[in-house]
Structure 1
Amino acid sequence: MQPIFFTKLSTIGNNYLILNYLEQPELSLDYANLAKHITNPRTGILADGIIILLPSELADFKMIIYNRDGSRAKTCGNGLRLIGHYLLEIERFNQPQITIETDSNVSILTHEEDLITVDLGFAHSLIDPCHPLSLKSQVTDYCGDIETPYGIWQADMISMGNPHFIIYTDDDHEAFEEEMERISKNYDVNVGMLTVINPNELLLTTYERGSGLTSACGTNAAAAVASAVARRQVNPYELITVHLPGGDLYLKWNEEAHLLATGHCTKICCGTYFFEGEKKDF
């Protein structure tokens, strides 16, 4: 058995287990298999995934994310804020800002006391990856048709370093949960059902690949705000409240067209998990 020391943190219903290898060598493990077992609610510690914290040659720190199904995520908005909170607690975030390397890019974190903000950078169109969304973007630059049992739906196809479909509706989001799962699996994307409440408020439900229906997805919320700003549904340069099943996340499209996400994080517990590396995958 391999002892794995972890710290569990939570933000708006998202829970991740952080494995800290800043001061000790990274363990040689099958982390995809570990993620499946350690996050199992019956035999492990319930969580949406694991985050491995490492030194970086490109940034101040590096994080690698595995979803609870063992898939590797390129980036994670809520995970970045959780890492920021964790680094604050261990006194490694004493400067005004730090940089975190992910599989997708390098993100900038800032904090005001214990409130963490992550700069998620530009939103890009999945239709034309070289095209960052701007206030001059045309809907055809980032919107495409998808077939569903309900007919042809339009989806705003947006990358935040990972892929997202944003689908607008005024109906109850729960009615489309099965269809969200189908779209996610067919297109290998995170799917967000979005309702515009007013120019500063959105309602969002997300099916996240690798995790399923989730309490919150920071990059999906950023993609939703980018879509709504480009469509002139919400205000740029102002704080937008995104109501998620797990709580509220606050986002802003700033003057550089970067998406900034802000929210509180909480430390839940820490402990040791004993991993039997020869366990078979689910």
Structure 2
Amino acid sequence: MILDFYKYSSTGNDFILLDNRDESCPVNDKKYWQRLCSRRTSVGADGVIFLESSEEFDFHMRYLNADGGEVSMCGNGTRALTHFYHFLTKVDKPTYTFSTMNGVYNSQIDGDTIWIEMTEAYDKQIVDNSQLYSKNIDSYYMNTGVPHCIYLVDDVEEVELVSEGRRIRNHSLFPNGVNTNFISKISEDSYKVRTYERGVEDETLSCGTGITACAHFLWDKGVETSSPINFQSRGGELVLKKEDNSVFFGGPTEMIYKGKLC
């Protein structure tokens, strides 16, 4: 079996993308994709994205984390997949509509920026923090396609992110695991963010659903009332904005190289 693949980076969140519209990819071979995502022995990536056909929409997205497990969607991955679809089909549209396990999304290509209209965040709640984070601050939880905890701290660079994030991710309060985000204010409407991602089991350079959760947290708590909000991740800058009743997040994405899987 030989498969063409494309390596993408969306502000440091890196992915292996494959065209599976002919259903030729062994999507359910968890160990195969897990090995492929290993950085020391194979291509290496935070996840694998499959472009699939859709009768109703422009395309369908399937997403596997680096551990080979399938999850409902990936924010930065949707930006990479929009670019990939446009690259393969050469179809120019003001808005692309695609389906995921989490529902239907719209995306737009605006020069070097790809914007995603996010679905509504849900299951918002303050979680008992006494067993979670070592600092005495609120733990805020919500689902923006995948589950997230958010913490507003003085300086994200002082957080022991991997140890703290891993402990929260594996806590019994979250039987399916949770992604953990720490944010700190840089200036007006600008924040640093760091994220520990389940499935990758490490810090990633950026996380689209994570910064979406962070923006909702800031708006919900009244910390920020304006839009847009700029988030500086270790992989680059992402922007969250509100338009009417919708929330969009945007940033750059790029194809790095093409290869073959043997």
TM-score by length of 1: 0.85
Displaced runs of 4+ in structure 1, greater than 6 A? Answer: none
Structure 1 residues 69-127: Cα deviation after superposition (integer angstroms, max 9, x where no partner): 1121211110000011112222344111111211111110011234210011222234x
Paired residues in the alignment total 255
Q: CA RMSD in A?
A: 1.8
Q: Post-superposition shift, 1:145? A: 1.6
- Name the CA shift for 1:28/1:35 in 2 (closer, same or farther; >3 Å): closer
Aligned amino acid, residue 145 of structure 1: D
| 1:21-32 mapped onto 2 (5 Å cutoff) | 21-22=20-21, 24-32=22-30
Task: Tell me the residue number matched to 2:231.
Answer: 242
Percent identical = 26
Q: Post-superposition shift, 1:152? A: 4.9
CA contact under 8 A between 1:199 and 1:233: conserved in structure 2? no
CA contact under 8 A between 1:123 and 1:259: conserved in structure 2? no
1:163 to 147, 157, 161: 147
Structure 1 residues 23-75: Cα deviation after superposition (integer angstroms, max 9, x where no partner): x2333453322221111122210211100110023422111111111121211
Aligned amino acid, residue 167 of structure 1: Y
- Name the CA shift for 1:155/1:43 in 2 (closer, same or farther; >3 Å): same
| Structure 1 residue matching 2:2: 3-state secondary structure | strand
Task: Tell me the residue number matched to 1:145.
Answer: 128
Distance 1:10 1:190 in 2: 20
Distance 1:151 1:194 in 2: 14
Task: Tell me the residue number matched to 1:136.
Answer: none
| Structure 2 residue matching 1:90: 3-state secondary structure | helix
Gaps of 5+ in 2: none
Gaps of 5+ in 1: 127-141, 275-282
Task: Tell me the residue number matched to 1:208.
Answer: 197
CA contact under 8 A between 1:196 and 1:233: conserved in structure 2? no
- Name the CA shift for 1:62/1:31 in 2 (closer, same or farther; >3 Å): farther
- Name the CA shift for 1:61/1:244 in 2 (closer, same or farther; >3 Å): same
Distance 1:194 1:149 in 2: 14
Task: Tell me the residue number matched to 1:97.
Answer: 95
Task: Tell me the residue number matched to 2:7.
Answer: 8
Distance 1:13 1:230 in 2: 28
Task: Tell me the residue number matched to 1:74.
Answer: 72
Distance 2:132 2:39 in 1: 33
Q: Post-superposition shift, 1:247? A: 1.0
Task: Tell me the residue number matched to 1:224.
Answer: 214
TM-score by length of 2: 0.91
Distance 1:16 1:173 in 2: 25
Task: Tell me the residue number matched to 1:139.
Answer: none
Distance 1:64 1:198 in 2: 37
Q: Post-superposition shift, 1:254? A: 2.6
